[in-house]
Structure 1
Amino acid sequence: MVPLSILDLSPVPEGSDVGQALRNSADLARHAEGLGYGRFWMAEHHNMPGIASAATAVALAHVGAATQRIRIGAGGIMLPNHAPLVVAEQFGTLAALHPGRVELGLGRAPGTDQIAAHALRRNLAADEGQFPRDVVELMNYFRPAQPGQRLRAVPGEGQEVPIWILGSSTFGAQLAAALGLPFAFASHFAPQMMFEAMTVYRQGFRPSEQLSAPKVMLGLNVIAAETDEEARFLFTSQQQSVLNLRSGRPGKLPPPVEDMASRLDARGEAILRNALACAVVGSRETVRQGLKAFIAETGADELMATGMIYDHEKRKRSFSLLAEAAGM
């Protein structure tokens, strides 16, 4: 098995609220730390009632205060929504509070719809070349200040926060390869270009101060329970959520249902088949076999598991079973 980490979208279940979702995230991070997971990342999403981690740096500060050893990071910060200096100051603050534990994944997508993207940026007329320039600018803010440097990230300078490039296409793969950075592919929701992106990244990789050889982390949906039947039942919450989002009706995470198949038409089946192609759902043994098969097929260096489960205790149990299946 390869190293395992967790991507937490801080789900807000129906009948609950954002405050409880964030408290659940801190509880899950403590649980993950005890199980031996390597990283606990949170993601930036906006205008989505079912995801509580929009202010990602603030949410990570909450999680960092609740844990002691596990690495915390963004998976990711959507850099076009922010000035690089602001991100450097935010994650420089996190790194000062939690030395040696903070890392930063950067994405090019808005993490939201066009209405929210315009509210965040005020101007959507950015050229495609701006994201690579912003990444390099941000990396420079984390380096030690030079004599006479007029613009400095305080906190931030000298922190050398590790950077990952996120992507769901070959664009991020090319950038990560050119800069010699680790690459995290969003196969947990956009798996279509996974193999092509990994090939582009590995073939084009140039060693850097941060990384001497290519490193690929893949997102994987994992829902584990005592039986295959229970896991499939729990998975219906995430399936409903994906359908609602792709149909323009984002909402809180629905409770699981027994009759998911009867609710699907051909379009719904196609949406789930495409969006959730990279998913392992079942008992501990089923998950163990699924992990082995996925790693063998992809050659991933690391996996980042995520799973939207309505009941928080069952979500914690899912990650416990995953850890057992992986031999952690």
Structure 2
Amino acid sequence: MNPMEAPDKETLHNPLRYWNDRPDYLAEMDQRDAEMDREDSLSDRYAFQLGQDLASHGLSIDPDTTCTEMVRGFEHGKRQPPRTADVYLRKLLTLRKNAYHRGIPVSSALTKEYLKSITVTVCPVSGVNLTQGTMTDTDWSVDRLNNQLGYVPGNLCIMSARVNRLKDASDVVSIARQGMFNWLLLGGDDGLYQDVGSGLLAIETMRLASLMQGPTHMRSGGFVRFPPYAMAPSAWATFDGAIAGIHMECARARVDEGYPYRRRRDLFKHLGKEHWSKSNRLVSLLRRMLANGKHPADVWFEDTPLDMLLELIEEFLSNPPPVDGAVDLEAVRQSIQAGLNPLAQFAR
């Protein structure tokens, strides 16, 4: 699925909370376009146009804290015929205004259609039903998963205002480790639903850290390992998340045939009878858990499926599938790197 297209409801497994069986990746960006985006989204011309758009759509600015060009554009926009704005356009314009004031670059790929395509009605971190315009902790907000990157597709997630606020005030990865400690020490829900001292529960920090790993990995160029306690649409997947997604995709297929099965077979059957059997048992276990109403992300908070997943991943990493000699690995590496290079334009 192209991350820039609104998803077809028929392809969504749970439209209320983020999880994709086969994680989407960042839409390809052209290096030149990325350079132009950064320069433009921090320019005076951009500020003028944004001020004009804010005024014509009935939104406000603070003249005392807004730059001169945005004020000029706003005054010009007030003389233009008024235009209507839906909730996505209002959110986009407000986001762009706040980003400009903070010097954060915004990709032109961030459109109201993109926001609509990633919007959910349940916070993927806390599980609360999201509201709009109530000025409370449950209002939906757009968060940059990695604050060292600007507003670029793949780095954005919808979550509650409460979680967004606490995330920005916390060292999420560090407190996620504390969350895991609570889980292991106390066991079960007694550990998962303890406050870790930041206002976030242990289970919330672990989900947040899981969401953040993909963009953080791509930003740093490192290899990130982290269990897939939550995954966002059109975000860069971690390796663990991708392997979990392959097994989840097979579990939801209900039958051991078709493309999902063939892909899993090609990746894991070479590991031998013991590990191929474990892969099959994991798929069967996931099917039973889903049939009993377990959310696809929450299955990994159970010891048995998580242990099976991690064991399979370790074996896979130590014994990867054979590569066809005709594959030019250097060409593949260069292609991947070319797709990542434009992201540097949005680094802060």
Asked if these proteins are the same fold (TM beyond 0.5), I'd say no
Give the number of the structure whose residues are more often helix, by fraction. 2
TM-score by length of 2: 0.25
TM-score by length of 1: 0.26
Q: Which has the larger radius of gyration?
A: 2
